[in-house]
Amino acid sequence: MRTLFLAGNWKMNPNSHAAAAELAQAVKVGVGQASDVRVAVCPPAVYLSQIDAVLEGSPVGMGAQNMHWEDEGAFTGELSGSMLIDVGCTHVILGHSERRHGLGESDSMINRKLAAALRARLIPIVCIGETREEREEDRTEDVVAGQLQGSLAGLSAEQMTGVVLAYEPVWAIGTGLTATPQQAQDVHAFIRDRLSDTFDRATANRVVVQYGGSVKPSNIAELLVRPDIDGALIGGASLKADDFLAMIRSARDLATKKG
């Protein structure tokens, strides 16, 4: 059985280290020692060391929002996997649509970052998803299949089970529009079938696939209840501790029922 996994992508928020620490502390207290649902927060890189200290003793993981594919060297402004491990990261988000579409990240760049993340022993959260135009042109499956093929190239089945995927339709990110639970389930089932073709069914069944795109307390349960949706990557609604904790409670209720 796959354990539900909720990750908060704080993006370029909040504006001060004090506010970031306060948010992390509230998440830590709210989660307590619960282990029935996996939880992580992904703060801006400048706050990582401090948030690591805040989260000490907590099962809440910490992810970076990006990393470079090289292990060290002349790459101004970049961060390596070993640096992220050194400041306490457990996870790293790769290929978020705001980087793919806003900053020109390609599948082959994401593939190199993925290899570097695995070398560093970070758990990668690899984001994939179609734009509104691609969905309207009925190309969702082609786009997602291409992103999977390009981003995951060269991975062994064993490595694949240590990778988290996040299906995030670009048109649903930060827009208030959410894929219907059926739309999301359909793409998640398609992703799992593709993983089964590329690796094998047992591997596909072990991979955690999160949904992302305007997830909030009022819609998370109807998404997580679907068989192939194993959690959520949450942007805006993860910046309010009460909302993030409410979503974790929904996931815990479901985990208990499923268990």
233 contributes a contact to ligand PEP by CB under 6 A = yes
Q: Is 105 a residue that touches ligand PEP (CB under 6 A)?
A: no
Cβ(178)–Cβ(215) below 8 Å = yes
Active site residue 168: yes
Q: Does 174 bind ligand PEP (CB under 6 A)?
A: yes
CA distance 48 to 123: 16
For residue 235 the two structure tokens come to 């942007």
Q: Which residues contact 111 (CB under 8 A, 6 or more apart)?
A: 150, 151, 152, 153, 154
Under the binding rule (CB under 6 A), the answer on residue 39 touching ligand PEP is no
Q: Which stretch binds ligand PEP (CB under 6 A): 25-33, 50-58, 110-118, 208-216?
A: 208-216
Residues 6+ apart with CB under 8 A from 112: 69
* Distance, CA of 179 to CA of 181 (rounded, Å): 6
Q: Kindly state whether residue 243 participates in binding ligand PEP, applying the rule CB under 6 A.
A: no
Q: Is 32 in the site for ligand PEP (CB under 6 A)?
A: no
Residue 168 interacting with ligand PEP (CB under 6 A): yes
Return the number of the residue (203 or 236) whose C-beta is nearest ligand PEP. 236
Buried/exposed code over 228-252 (b: 16+ C-beta within 10 A; e: otherwise): bbbbbbbbbbbbebebbbbbbbbbb
Which of 91, 96, 105, 134 is labelled catalytic? Answer: 96
Q: Is 17 marked active-site?
A: no
Q: Which of 23, 64, 235, 251 binds ligand PEP (CB under 6 A)?
A: 235
Does 173 sit near ligand PEP (CB under 6 A)? yes
**Among positions 213, 223, 224, 250, the unique one binding ligand PEP when judged by CB under 6 A:** 213
Q: Does 14 sit behind a cis peptide bond, omega within 30 degrees of 0 on the bond before it?
A: yes
Q: Which CB atom, from 14 or from 196, has the smaller least distance to ligand PEP?
A: 14
Rounded CA-CA distance 141/119 in Å is 30
Active centre residues (catalytic): 96, 168
Q: What residues make contact with ligand PEP under the rule CB under 6 A?
A: 9, 11, 168, 173-174, 212-215, 233-237
